[in-house]
A = this chain, B = another copy of it.
Amino acid sequence: MSSIWDRPEPGTRKPRHSREQIAAAALAIADREGFDAVSMRRVAEEVGAGTMTLYHYVRTKADLIDLMDDAIMGEVLIPDGELPATWRAAMRMIACSSHAAFLRHPWALRAMTDSNGGPNGLRHFEQSLAAVASLEIDTRAKLELMGIVDDYVFGYVFRSAEVTAALTARATDELIEGLLPHFELQIRSGDYPHIQALFGDADTRQTWELIVDVMTAESRFEQGLDLLLDGIEAKLAGGGAWSSAG
């Protein structure tokens, strides 16, 4: 019912561990061995405690994941005083910082599903509000603007994490090799004229590498972000007010 942030750590008698330590251990395991390797037994082993001991610091595994998520959100935060003054530069910096943090922990997005948002999440929200504070649009419009940029950032991170996961599982070559046979067969059927054209003039393998390259290229993130900010800026400068739904 009540989230973990409402309940105090145990502490009247000196506990052997701490939430920070446990979260850090879980994070280390996730980074090293993947998110699926994070089990209560594995984390307990990592901190040198019995499995059930963890349940004195954390009510459920979901709570532990909340702790991990908030640690990630901590990495997203912009250090005090470094947030640019203009809304565009500020939003851009926040977006890039999020991007960087999630690239360091590709499993994080998957873990984030049904997280409730801890203190660092709140601080992140505060910073985003600060970024758009100077804009002269109503509150709803500010929230919408923040949401739209977040949508893009999360989408990029989500999709790039997908590819990253697939690539770390197998090597690029092996992955392409595995997909090729079935793929070529389909293409030759003639049902996919545009894909056929795409692969037409060049070597099949070369085109595949181009696709993987585009998907994983970091440049695409800033490219798309700037295009989106262009669109927002144009709308804001366009005299007509931000068109709210309500």
| A residues in contact (CB < 8 Å) with B | 1-3, 5-6, 109-110, 112-114, 116, 119, 122-123, 125-126, 129-130, 133, 139-140, 143-144, 147-148, 150-156, 158-159, 162, 165-166, 169, 178-179, 181-183, 186, 191-195, 197-198, 210-211, 213-215, 217, 219-220, 223-224, 226-232, 234-235, 243, 245-246
Contacts and interface: CB of A to CB of B under 8 A. Distances in A.
Given A159-B150, A179-B3, A227 B223 contact: no
Nearest to A233: B231
A182 B6 contact: yes
Closest 8 CB pairs of A and B: A155-B155, A231-B231, A148-B224, A219-B245, A227-B231, A129-B194, A230-B231, A151-B155
Choose among A116, A150, A191, A228 the residue with the greatest number of B CB atoms under 10 Å from its CB: A228
A162 B113 contact: yes
A243 B217 CA distance: 14
Nearest to A6: B182
30 contacts: A2-B178, A2-B182, A3-B182, A5-B182, A6-B181, A6-B182, A110-B110, A112-B162, A113-B165, A114-B169, A122-B183, A123-B192, A129-B195, A129-B197, A140-B210, A143-B210, A150-B155, A150-B159, A151-B152, A151-B155, A152-B224, A154-B159, A155-B158, A158-B158, A223-B243, A228-B231, A230-B230, A230-B234, A231-B234, A234-B234
